[in-house]
Structure 1
Amino acid sequence: MTEPIKVSTTIHADQPTEPYHPLWNWFGYDEPNYTYSPHGKKLLKELTELSNTAPHIRTHNLLTSGDGVAALKWGSTNAYSEDADGNPVYDWTIMDQIFDAYMEAGNIPLVQIGFMPEALSDFQGEYKHHWAPADPYATIMTGWAVPPNNLKKWGDLVYAWARHMADRYGEEKVSTWPWEVWNEPDGLYWHGTIPEFCEMYDVSAKAVRRALPNARVGGPHTCGAFSNPKAQKFLREFLQYVVDHKSPLDFIAFHAKGNPVIWKDHVRMGVHKQLRDIETNLDIINEFPTLSHLPVVIGESDPEGCAACSARVHPQNGYRNGPLYSVYVVESMLRTYELAKLKNIHIEGAVTWAFLFDDQAWYDGFRDLATNGVDKAVLNGFRMLGKLGGDWLSTQSSHRRDLQEIMEHGVRGEPDVNVVATRDDKGISVLVWHYHDDDEAGPDAEVSIAIDGWGDRKASLKHFRMDETHSNSFGVWKAMGKPENPQGADYAKLEASGQLAQIEDVASVAVNGGKIELRTTLPRQGVSLLRLDW
């Protein structure tokens, strides 16, 4: 039997460092028509309940033409068409269903201006794609991924849309929503040039501002820049255009993706690649001193690039159903805070590109937060992040891996057994996690948690856990024999297992000289949240 790793951690309860903000509380997906399905509405409400801060929700295809029927990597609203004389026809029926669902759930839209309606597209070929996970990714890029054939009509559409949102939900509310232009124009999502994109951005941003003078607009949502000269060139030229033309820009957006692979007989994650993408983009932004004060939104920040690419077809995506995805989110998000501080840039949000896929088999290996209405383990990682709040506290861990080392080599060999903590007016929250890139068995971590600076007040403890046997509906489903269509009591059991498990509830914890000593055994790929109240 492998000996456990001995880990010592320290939390200084009387040493706040800076305010905490939940940059992780942003989510997105390709398929807007899943938004208002029963499972979609349920999940949106759960995202709101993650913390005391409303989540931001980003989705593609809000201006795409079509019948409003969802499909993998496809969605549509048919908001824009033209009559026989070429005059614009606006129809907000499907759009309203989407945004009504956000308002009902208490979400904040990150409104994406895209993609190109069919009537404004001169693409020679099919407009709607027909894609399955085994197909080449590039086949999704059809007539919606082109520049507008009439910039004035495009600008008028954006203006009309923004005014409709204001009329329906109130200008004051809608003006607080961030508005963004397009998605990954340096990649396959834009069949135009960089100057054409910059011109389209300028027209779009000014149309939003004309409709909503106090709204925030941003872009360009370029792809991960590490080892990607095209993405680096695009971001630099876009930012230079903004400087030269004084285009409206209130936040800068880019994407960051990891790189999981099959290593020998198991999945090996690539968190180093995701962090390198973030670092490279922040370094480019710092080349523009008149813009580096702007906040950043990482519009997609994920273990890899394609949420709809099932693990059945792409086995390197086999991390998605169980605890590894959850602990990876914790690792990558908390390291993102470190990078922001290191580069002196405020990262406002980091979007997890995962939602749900209706009408798919249970645990079919998609990058989603829930399957058939049952929450996956990853959502419980977010639930624990949601219990942080107030101010960061000073902490140490004997097995905290160095950020630069992780960006060079990943988390191989020794695991990252790390701790962060926050303090609010009722107590402190301590988050401990045990991460390794390799999805294979490894020793547990025996973690001692020393809290000083507590004072002479009493303390109570609630301990929450996500690992292979806690807060992991996938493990329960496997133990059931992987039923294809769970019903009744089985469904209820799965639904309950998708919630965050509490493993300790102690009314009175010993406090000696203002210090508290706790211990826990944390399995590999496990996460614990310990809440201590005064």
Structure 2
Amino acid sequence: MATASPGRALASPKYTFSYVDKVFDFILECGVRPFVELGFMPRELATVRETVFWWGAHCSPPTDMARWVELVTRSIEHWIDRYGLAEVREWRFEVWNEPNLVPHFWTGTKTEYFELYEQTALAIRKIDPELKVGGPATSVFVPDDRYKGEVEDRSAMHETVTASDVDPLDWRPVWIEDFIAWCAERELPVDFISTHLYPTDFAYGPTGGGSTSLDTSTRRSTTCGSFAISWRTARIRIPRSTSPNGRHRHRPATSSTTRSSRRRSSRGRT
């Protein structure tokens, strides 16, 4: 979203999609469907700016929820126009990334994230009732109540680094139960639940640096036995083609043997 140009302010927001079009075109050409993470906040809509990364991502609630909804709506409508409704219905739209990690990936509260999800999910379903949306895209599993409140309470942390055995600890995902309850109470659409699990969730020292030495059998049973759905692994491979009007369309899958035979026969033609 462009909000200004050199030397003058724009009378209204102008939406440009050239960069994301190149990315999505390439992803689809590779036979993969996008799993779209909606975030972060444009500078002009951010309540707090440059919260994380060297390039200054703006990971905060919007100053104007209606304008955020308009941005989401315009973006998805553009993708539908470019790739076709049938294709975009197969995508997943994840609202934000790891909002429990305050103040880096989010500067608001848990409830403020739920409100962002509510407005975003309703906007997406208003475009088309078969579009898929989910969250809360939280980070890590924890064996304590540090994320039970509106923001992280580090005084409630269990020092996993000092545990002799991490498997018996009561590992749980972050915000999942509260998120499901919030959406159920308001009858909000939830097509998938996402949370991000990392092999090092339990391996950091009390000060946030360093790691302990855990044997591989413990590491496997702890990480692989946990519930986790993440955009990082939810890739769906599909074949696709582009129709003459520029919209991307599916084509029937062909085996590598068939494709090779076609290439050989083509080279043999005069």
TM over 0.5: yes
Aligned to 1:169: 83
1:215 maps to 131
Which one-letter code corresponds to 2:58 in the other structure?
Answer: W
C-alpha displacement at 1:268, in angstroms? 8.4
* CA RMSD, 1 decimal: 2.9
Please state which structure has a larger fraction of its residues in strand: 1
- Please list the CA deviations of residues 339-393 of structure 1 after superposition, one character each: whole Å capped at 9, or x if unmatched: xxxxxxxxxx499xxxxxxxxxxxxxxxxxxxxxxxxxxxxxxxxxxxxxxxxxx
Structure 1 position 202, deviation (Å): 1.1
Measure the CA separation in 2 of the matches of 1:163 and 1:271: 42
Letter in 1 for 2:21: D
Is 1:90 the equivalent of 2:39? no
Aligned counterparts of 2:235 and 2:19: Cα–Cα separation in 1: 27
Correspondence 1:129 to 2:129: no
What one-letter code is carried by the residue in structure 2 that aligns with 1:152? A
Q: What's the counterpart of residue 250 of structure 1?
A: 191
Shift of 1:234: 2.2
2:182 to 241, 248, 251: 241
SS of 2:175's equivalent in the other structure is helix
Task: Pick closer, same or farther for the CA change 1:208–1:196 going to 2, 3 Å.
Answer: same
Match of 1:272? 221
Residue 72 of structure 2 is aligned with which of 158, 172, 175?
A: 158
Q: 2:105 corresponds to which letter in structure 1?
A: Y
In the alignment, the residues of structure 2 paired with residue 109 and residue 300 of structure 1 have an alpha-carbon distance, to the nearest angstrom, of: 11
Question: How far 1:270 sits from its partner (Å)?
Answer: 1.9
5+ residue gaps, structure 1: 1-79, 132-141, 282-296, 302-348, 352-534
Instruction: Give CA deviations for 1:163-194 in whole Å, capped at 9, x if unaligned.
Output: 10011111111111111111111124111111
1:195-214 to structure 2, matched below 5 A, reads 195-214=111-130
Question: Hey, what's the Cα distance between the residues in 2 that align with 1:185 and 1:127?
Answer: 12
**1: CA distance, partners of 2:67 / 2:143:** 37
Q: Which residue of 1 aligns with 2:110?
A: 194
Q: What SS does the aligned partner of 1:108 have?
A: coil
Q: Tell me, what secondary structure is at the counterpart of 2:2?
A: strand
Q: In the alignment, what sits opposite 2:230?
A: 298
Deviates most, 221-230 or 250-259: 221-230
- 1:23-62 CA deviation, whole Å, 9 max, x = no partner? xxxxxxxxxxxxxxxxxxxxxxxxxxxxxxxxxxxxxxxx
- Alpha carbons 2:139, 2:174 under 8 Å: kept: no
CA distance in 1, matches of 2:196, 2:50: 28
| Structure 2: tracts of 5 or more residues without a match | 149-172, 204-210, 237-270
After superposition, give the CA deviation of every residue in 1:291-313 in whole Å (9 maximum; x if it has no partner). xxxxxx33457xxxxxxxxxxxx
TM-superposed deviation, 1:129: 3.4
Letter in 1 for 2:76: A
SS at match of 2:34: strand
Structure 1 residues 73-472: aligned runs within 5 Å: 80-83=1-4, 84=9, 87-123=12-48, 126=50, 129-130=53-54, 143-187=57-101, 188-229=104-145, 230=147, 232=173, 234-259=175-200, 263=213, 270-275=219-224, 277-278=226-227, 297-300=229-232, 349=234
Number of paired residues? Answer: 196
For residues 197 and 92 of structure 2, the distance between their equivalents in structure 1, rounded to whole angstroms, comes to 20
Q: Aligned pair in 2 of structure 1 residues 253, 129: CA closer, same or farther (>3 Å)?
A: closer
Q: Is the 8 A contact 2:34 2:235 kept in 1?
A: no
Task: Provide closer, same or farther for how the CA distance between residues 250 and 108 of structure 1 changes in structure 2, counting only shifts above 3 A.
Answer: same
TM-score normalised according to structure 2 size: 0.64
SS in 1 for 2:129: coil
**Percent identity at matched positions?**
29
2:182 partner amino acid: Y
Paired residues of 2:134 and 2:192 also in contact (CA < 8 A): yes
The answer to which structure has the higher helix fraction is: 2
Structure 1 distance, partners of 2:195, 2:114, is 15
Alignment CA distance shift 1:233-1:274 (3 Å) = closer
Q: What one-letter code is carried by the residue in structure 2 that aligns with 1:208?
A: I
Give the SS at the match of 1:257.
coil
- Matched residue of 1:238: which SS? helix
1:277–1:190 Cα change, 3 Å: farther
Which structure has the bigger radius of gyration? 1
Instruction: Kindly provide the amino acid, as one letter, of the partner of residue 210 in structure 1.
Output: K
Q: Distance in 2 between matches of 1:94 and 1:129?
A: 20
Structure 1 length-normalised TM: 0.34
Tell me, in whole angstroms, the C-alpha distance in 2 between the residues paired with 1:93 and 1:269: 46
SS of the counterpart of 2:108? coil
**1:86 Cα deviation after fit:** 6.2
